[in-house]
Amino acid sequence: MRGGVVTSAVKDGNEYVLNGNKCFITNASSAEIFVVFANTRKAAGIRGLTAFVLEKGTPGFSVGKKEEKMGICASDTCELILDGVRVPEEQRIGREGEGFKLAMKTLDAARPLVGAVSVGISQAALDCAVKYAKERQQFNKPVASFQLVQAMVADMAMQIEAARLLVHKACWLKDQGMPYSKEAAMAKCFASDVAMKVTVDAVQVMGGYGYSKEYPAEKYMRDAKIMQIYEGTNQIQRLVIANAVLY
C-alpha cells in the first residue's frame, strides 16, 4: 500500500472505470462483496488511493487463478482481474484520495485478529505436543518426564500466555474507543512470532511424528508462517511500534 498500487480508477461522468489486477486476495472465490483500492491520481502516490465497493458478477470483474499455498489451505487465495469495470460514483467509499487512511484503519483493526489466530495455532500446537509427550515412552518412561522437554513446554506456555494477554489488551483498547495502533502491532507481531516458534518446538518435541502428517503439528507449523507475513509483515510492525514509542 505504500503508493505502489497499479490498479487505476479513471472518472468517466458519474462512474469510474477500473483496470488492473489484485494478487493474493483472501476468500476471493467465495466472496460476494469486495472493497477494491485503486489509484485515481497516479502521480499522487498514496494520496491518490481511493476505495470502491464492487459486487461479484460486475461486468469486467472476475476471479483469476487460485494460489497453491504452503499453509492455511482451507482459505482460498486468488487473483482478481479488473478489465474496464465500471463502478458508479456512489460505490466509492469516502472521498477520492482517502483510500490509504481507510486501509491503515482497517489494518489496525485486523492485526489483533491475526494475533488471536496466532494464539489459537500456538495453543493447539502445545496441546498436541503435551498429549504426545505424555503418551510417548522412551527408556521406559514418558518423554514428558525429561527435563529438556519440560523446559521447552514451559517456555511455550509462557510465550502463549504473554501473546494472549497482548491480544486481549489491544482488543480491549479498541472496544473502549481508545488509541490502539501500537498495541495492535505489538499483538500481531509478538503473537505471530510466538506461533512460529511454538509450532517449531512442538514438532521438535514430537520428533519424527511431529514431521509426519499423521499428527497435526506439521500443519500448525505451516499455518503459523503466514501470520508473520500478512496484515503487514512483522518487520513493518516493528517500524509501527518504534515510531509510536519514539515520536
Q: Which residues are catalytic?
A: 231
Identify whether the C-beta of residue 126 lies closer than 8 Å to the C-beta of residue 198: yes
Identify whether the C-beta of residue 97 lies closer than 8 Å to the C-beta of residue 49: yes
SS3 15: strand
CA distance linking residue 68 with residue 78, whole number of Å: 9
Please list the residues that pair with 86 across neighbouring strands.
Answer: 17
CA distance linking residue 108 with residue 244, whole number of Å: 13
- Site of grid cell 476505495: 51
CA distance linking residue 201 with residue 221, whole number of Å: 9
